[in-house]
Amino acid sequence: MKVLIIGGGGREHAIAASMRKSPRVDALYCVPGNAGIAQIAECEPSIGAMDFDRIVSYAKEKAVDLVFVAPDDPLAAGLVDRLEAEGLRAFGPRKDAAILEGSKAFSKDLMKKYHIPTAAYETFDDAAKALAYLEHAAMPIVLKADGLALGKGVLICNTLEEAEAGVKEIMQDKHFGDAGNRMVVEEFLTGREVSVLAFVDGRTVKTMTSAQDHKRAGDGDQGPNTGGMGCFSPSPFYTKEVDEYCRRFIYQPTVDAMAAEGREFKGVIFFGLILTAQGPKVLEYNARFGDPETQVVLCRMKNDILDVVDACIDGCLDKIELEFEDNAAVCVVLASEGYPVSYKKGFEIRGLERFRGESDYYCFHAGSCLDGDGRIVTGGGRVLGVTAKADTLGEARRKAYEATEWVEFDNKYMRHDIGKAIDEA
Ligand code: AMP
Ligand code: GLY
């Protein structure tokens, strides 16, 4: 089969690496891709993930059998619908189902209607009403821009002053653009966070192994929110009891709710969970693989990814048994100093060849490109996702940090406490 992957980050590199392991894949393409993905797939950097017309022409020109749409923006904007209308086979939710991530107000209303455990909330499309409500609300409180905001549209406010500034930022100054036309105000929850990714075929849901992301830029969870600075899998806090509870009250009910609403979900649902004293609750849904969760999850999956993707599209996921290795993985993101606020790029990345031939070490490229001289240079805030597998989380962590020393570039920045929480488990 010929497969085209849409996207160009560490997640897409991990998906491409998984596809490469499938004996059924004989040609692999990626748009826009990046310098790392280009080593295992043919990339077309001039086509963006939102450039639907050119994606369709490219897919037809290469006669691909499957288009795997990985990022949130093209899913929410209906790329899967467009591909299907052009007679192409696509993996990912259609627009009417991708709204599960595309609108926080939609997902909160869905959870309320179908009694899926989540934080109490109110939705506002008027700043004055939101401000009036906040005057009497308990602090801390959480403000969320309704739409997609690169994972950054969530503000945790400790005081009324912070909450007022947050309303201004989201609804009045439109810091997150139109994503802030509506805003969800949500009860602040405390507990361990766990990410669970699941394949869904419209009816059946099959979960992958659990993971935990580190969203803040600095050690000790300080500093601004980022796309994710590192990750580990599995989460030792995701016990059998938690899993059973979530299956019964969260996973299947979510898939059934979408079907009942006439918005059949096919693709991957990312359940962002928080384990509170009152039990697990949903913090957010994403309608896609997570980044960097994918880097630590797919490298542990034993199944042929193409078999699973086919089963999701064809509605026969019940016939598939997902299997994961009984080990652990840790991913440490090497970023450009200053990310996510402002940073320089274009620096040469050295030492990448050190990963060649290593079986339990991976260097997924998140933001890299080729310069005019054919050198691989930094091309984004998150640059590489250095990942290692081992029998235990502690050993995987040691190996991942060891491998972060193999690569060098000016401005290299990382957190030093990825996976530290496992010491407390
Ligand atoms: P989200 O994009 O909805 O996952 O939010 C980003 C991060 O904000 C989450 O990973 C949590 O750390 C935090 N967060 C979101 N909602 C809440 C909440 N209701 N209570 C506490 N923290 C939250
Ligand atoms: N790592 C969180 C996300 O992919 O949204």
Residue 226: name the closest of 234, 217, 235 by CA: 217
- Please give the distance, rounded to the nearest whole angstrom, from the Cα atom of residue 278 to the centre of ligand 2: 24
3-state secondary structure of 269: strand
Model pLDDT, residue 422: 72
CB 330 within 8 A of CB 230: yes
Helix (H, G, I), strand (E, B) or coil at 221: helix
The confidence score (pLDDT) of residue 425 equals 64
Q: For residues 292 and 27, what is the distance between their CA atoms, to the nearest angstrom?
A: 25
Given a contact cutoff of 8 angstroms between Cβ atoms, the answer to whether 28 and 38 are in contact is no
| CA–CA distances in Å: residue 410 to residues 6, 90, 337 | 29, 39, 9
* CA gap 331, 291 in Å, rounded: 10
**CA–CA separation, 284 and 268 (whole Å):** 14
Look at residue 420 in the predicted model and tell me its pLDDT. 84
Q: Write the burial class of residue 136 (CB in 10 Å: 0-12 exposed, 13-18 middle, 19+ buried).
A: exposed
Q: Which of 123, 148, 156 to mutate to test the pocket of ligand 1 (most atoms within 8 A of CB)?
A: 156
- pLDDT of amino acid 92: 98
Cβ of 172: how many Cβ atoms within 10 Å?
10
Ligand nearest to the CA of 272: 1
Q: Is 293 in the pocket of ligand 1 (CB under 6 A)?
A: no
**Nearest to residue 399, comparing CAs of 388, 407, 408, 391?**
388
Per-residue pLDDT of the chain (425 residues; tens, 9 = 90+): 999 999 999 999 999 999 999 999 999 999 999 999 999 999 999 999 999 999 999 999 999 999 999 999 999 999 999 999 999 999 999 999 999 999 999 999 999 999 999 999 999 999 999 999 999 999 999 999 999 887 778 899 999 999 999 999 999 899 898 888 999 999 999 999 999 999 999 999 999 999 999 999 999 999 888 889 999 999 999 999 999 999 999 999 999 999 999 999 999 999 999 999 999 999 999 999 999 999 999 999 999 999 999 999 999 999 999 999 999 999 999 999 999 999 999 999 999 999 999 989 999 999 999 999 999 999 999 999 999 999 999 999 999 999 999 999 999 999 999 998 777 66
Query: How far, rounded to the nearest angstrom, does the alpha carbon of residue 382 sit from its chain's CA centroid?
Result: 14
Residue pointed to by tokens 């990046």? 34
Question: Percent helix, strand and coil across the chain, each rounded to 5?
Answer: 35, 30, 35
Q: Which atom from ligand 2 is nearest to the alpha carbon of 231? A: 1
| Per-residue pLDDT, 225 | 84
Distance from the Cα of residue 205 to its chain's centroid? 18
75 Cα to the center of ligand 2, angstroms: 15
Look at residue 424 in the predicted model and tell me its pLDDT: 67
119 lines ligand 1 (CB under 6 A): yes
- Residue 187 Cα: closest atom of ligand 1: 19
Residue 300 sits at φ, ψ, to 5 deg, of: -105, 0
The binding-site residues of ligand 2, defined as CB within 6 angstroms of any ligand atom, are: 151, 213, 228, 286, 290-291, 293
Contacts of residue 106, defined as CB under 8 A and 6 or more positions apart, other chains included, come to 99, 100
Q: Is the CB of 121 under 6 A from ligand 1?
A: no
Question: What is the C-alpha to C-alpha distance for residues 95 and 75, in angstroms, rounded to an integer?
Answer: 6
Cα(242) to centroid(ligand 1), Å: 19
Cα end-to-end span (Å), the chain? 43
**What single-letter amino acid sits at 407?**
V
Residues facing residue 205 across a β-bridge: 200
| Residue recorded with tokens 């993985």 | 329
Question: What are 164's two structure tokens?
Answer: 């007022």
64 contacts 2 by C-beta, under 8 angstroms: yes
Q: Could you tell me the pTM of the whole model? A: 0.95
Angle at 209 between CA 208 and CA 210, to 5 degrees: 115
For residues 129 and 296, is the Cβ–Cβ distance under 8 A? no
Which tokens go with 30?
Answer: 């990626």
Residue type, 81: D
Residue 45 beta carbon below 6 angstroms from any ligand 1 atom: no
Nearest CA to ligand 1 atom 11: 283
Q: Are 208 and 199 in contact (CB under 8 A)?
A: yes
Gap from CA of 178 to ligand 2 centroid (Å):
21
Query: Is 250 in a helix, a strand, or coil?
Result: helix
Q: Residue 162 corresponds to which tokens in the numbers above?
A: 């912070």
Supply the DSSP string of 345-358, one letter for each residue. Answer: --PBPB-GGGGTT-
Q: In a mutational test of the pocket of ligand 1, which residue from 278, 284, 286 has the highest number of ligand atoms less than 8 Å from its CB?
A: 284
